[in-house]
Structure 1
Amino acid sequence: MVEVENNIPEISIIMPVYNSETFLYLAVESVKRQTMKEWELLLIDDGSSDASGRLCDAYAKEDARIRVFHQENQGITKTRNRGIKEARGEFITFIDNDDEFVEDIMEKSCSYAKKYRADIVKFGYRVEEDFPNGAKEVRDNCIKQQLIITREQCGEEYQNIYRSGYFNMIWNGIYRRTLFEDKKLMFDESVIMGYEDWIFNNQMYLIPKRQVIMDYVGYIHYQRYQHSTSKKFHPNQIEANVKAAEAEYHLLRRMNQEYGTTFTWVLRATDYLIDILFLFERRGCNYGYRDKKKALKWVRSQKVFRIFHKKEQLGNLPKQRKWMAVLFDRQWYMILLILADLYYKFILWKKLRK
């Protein structure tokens, strides 16, 4: 059994666990292989019905740096919030129960946080994705040149940071624990599955005094078609998408007011609309046309999507997106859904041909 030399770990690693007995070993071992040893791993068993809970207990018996918490199923956001409350480290990070850390990323990111007195250190990540037609894709999301930004530079560096994948995920970074304590910023527990990272990162972006964006891939994210929650449909994802859109809309608006930036919302609004249309293509979605129409009508009524009512804004869109926005605004949902389905199948076909 591995003993703990220091009662106060340098970093707390939070891993929500739910029915991942097949892949849990990979995630836990990637933590145990870290070159930095001053960590604690919080395994939070969220009411698993397979052997995951027993595996968590076994790992804790082998290594005193691993702590286990069992609870009834409450979902990813409440589980992560439980981990934040239980964490003791100077920094906090997250890992999904079927992903892997690169073996030196905790050492690198913590050393950068101390060197630059940063509240957040973000790093790049690799996505290995499976598609329903058998296609596979590996892609890296990583900034080309390291950035060290202060709060005053958040506006001018936003585009570079956005392209780095900063806002999409929560596990591609470490966060000073006092950010959660001082600002009381936690995950939105009304979100059950999906977009919780987007909401959190947009709300967090302007809070740190200093951040580092590393030009280094430190995380491997697997999107397995039959296992990953990112491939499954849940009705709550539509509402969560709108909440993420609202969080980004308010961030862009605040930066325009405080930093004098000129970010426009209409293009990003179409990105969120495409995401919603593609949700209907996910595994487990049994929505018929009436259900999809009802969902789209509700989305259209939300403030952040009313920008499509303004014809002068649509001139800033590429031709294909302009037509999509027009179809959505005019409530021609059948045509919109047919075109979205064809576009999704075209994307899968292109990936299969690579």
Structure 2
Amino acid sequence: MPDIKISIIVPVYNSEKYLPETAQSILKQSFSDFELILVDDGSKDGSGKICDQLAAKDTRVKVIHKTNGGICSARNAGLKMAAGEYIAFCDNDDIYLPELLEDNYALAKKYDADVVRYSRSYRTVKDGKVIAEEKTSFKAGVYSSSQFAANFDQINKAGEGIWAGIYRRTFLQKNQIDFDETMKFGYEDLDFITKIYLCSPSVVLNPKTYYVWIMRYAHSTSGKTDINNITSLMKCLENKSRLVTQTGIETQIPAFWVEELSRRIYTIVRYVSPKKVKMPFGKRIELLKYFRTAAVFQQPTDKKRTEALKKQSKPGWLIWYLFDKKHYWLLYFLVTGKQRLSEK
């Protein structure tokens, strides 16, 4: 394959039930000038064999078999092998919709873009039935590198899932961007996209939906809470804080950063309190206290920004206020009480 336009990297781990459909959604794309790199990350089921069978049938498929190292290690292995002009990603149980490659590669070439971001659908499946589905929403846009900072608010709305975009391989290589292999339990996507944005790429935003991100109850994690998840987010927020400063976004939207921190606080409270996790209440509070030690929470927040958040979202402001003042118990019961009410 002398002319590879796109390298699609799929980390594979114990997904024999879903991998064939995922692979076919890619191999049946209208655009054919690509390579599909399946990285078997030490699967213990039949996933590795399925990878080899796919490669035997289609020369565009390449397979890496490696010892288990986690999703970041698998993606990095794929990045090292990739030869495409652009890089794309897919998880081993998600779906590419038709024309994903054709449409977004055309936009990348038309505007000479470092990054093209497109919309995704988040589908929840239980007992084989779709019980919920929602899509990201943002406006179309074309932004040069010099326009990146001024338009960061719009670009940020395109989300952080790395599979909802294609990326110029030489841009990633030039800026030494890869996945942080210390991140084992989440936030590797936020880390990767933030590192890209810190380099002020040229970006095209395509609001059409091309990717289906599927959460299957039967295939979801057991509910284990790991401190690595929290530590990873703390690291990501330090980088994003630099990005917020670099873009000057708070001059346009005073509540931008404190609102994001409030959302992340809410996420962590939910993370330490899932119904499946058996953990003493005191341990849950200790994890919230640990998150509070993140560097981004050590500097006093400008009152103007917190007041802007209060006007924009009183619930968001309350979450921020309780966490900032270290009222962890009250915050915990507020968030989990809201969670219980929403599930009734």
TM-score between the two structures when normalised by the length of structure 2: 0.90
Match for residue 154 of structure 1 among 148, 153, 163: 148
Unaligned residue ranges in structure 1 (runs of 5+): 1-5, 350-354
Native 8 Å contact 2:52 2:63 kept in 1: yes
Match for residue 189 of structure 1 among 170, 177, 181: 181
The AA in structure 2 aligned to 1:148 is V
Q: CA deviation at 1:279?
A: 0.9
What residue number does 1:85 align with?
80
The AA in structure 1 aligned to 2:210 is G
Is the partner of 1:174 in helix, strand or coil? strand
Question: What is the CA–CA distance in structure 2 between the aligned matches of 1:226 and 1:35, rounded to whole Å?
Answer: 31
Match for residue 180 of structure 1 among 151, 154, 172: 172
Q: What is the correspondence of 1:56-67 to structure 2 with a 5 Å cutoff?
A: 56-67=51-62
What residue number does 2:335 align with?
340
Is the partner of 1:213 in helix, strand or coil? strand
Q: CA deviation at 1:327?
A: 2.6
Bigger drift between 336-345 and 119-128 goes to 336-345
- Alpha-carbon displacement from aligned partner over 1:172-213 (angstroms, at most 9, x marks no partner): 111111012111111111111211111111221142552211
Unaligned residue ranges in structure 2 (runs of 5+): none
Is the partner of 2:36 in helix, strand or coil? strand
Native 8 Å contact 1:131 1:348 kept in 2: no
What residue number does 1:298 align with?
290
The AA in structure 2 aligned to 1:275 is T
The AA in structure 2 aligned to 1:123 is Y
Is the partner of 1:44 in helix, strand or coil? strand
Distance 1:149 1:20, change over 3 A: same
What residue number does 2:36 align with?
41
Q: CA deviation at 1:162?
A: 2.2
Native 8 Å contact 2:39 2:64 kept in 1: yes
Question: What is the CA–CA distance in structure 2 between the aligned matches of 1:260 and 1:342, rounded to whole Å?
Answer: 35
Q: CA deviation at 1:218?
A: 1.0
Q: CA deviation at 1:229?
A: 5.0
Distance 1:313 1:233, change over 3 A: same
- Alpha-carbon displacement from aligned partner over 1:264-285 (angstroms, at most 9, x marks no partner): 4222111110110111244753
The AA in structure 1 aligned to 2:334 is L
Is the partner of 1:202 in helix, strand or coil? helix
The AA in structure 1 aligned to 2:309 is L
Identical counterparts, % of pairs: 32
Q: Are residue 123 (structure 1) and residue 118 (structure 2) matched?
A: yes
Bigger drift between 329-338 and 146-155 goes to 329-338
Q: CA deviation at 1:130?
A: 4.5
Match for residue 266 of structure 1 among 234, 241, 258: 258
Native 8 Å contact 1:92 1:177 kept in 2: yes
Q: What is the correspondence of 1:163-178 to structure 2 with a 5 Å cutoff?
A: 163-165=157-159, 168-178=160-170
- Alpha-carbon displacement from aligned partner over 1:77-104 (angstroms, at most 9, x marks no partner): 1111111011011111000000011121
Q: Are residue 213 (structure 1) and residue 213 (structure 2) matched?
A: no
Native 8 Å contact 1:43 1:69 kept in 2: yes
Question: What is the CA–CA distance in structure 2 between the aligned matches of 1:276 and 1:126, rounded to whole Å?
Answer: 23
Question: What is the CA–CA distance in structure 2 between the aligned matches of 1:261 and 1:212, rounded to whole Å?
Answer: 21
Match for residue 10 of structure 2 among 8, 15, 18: 15
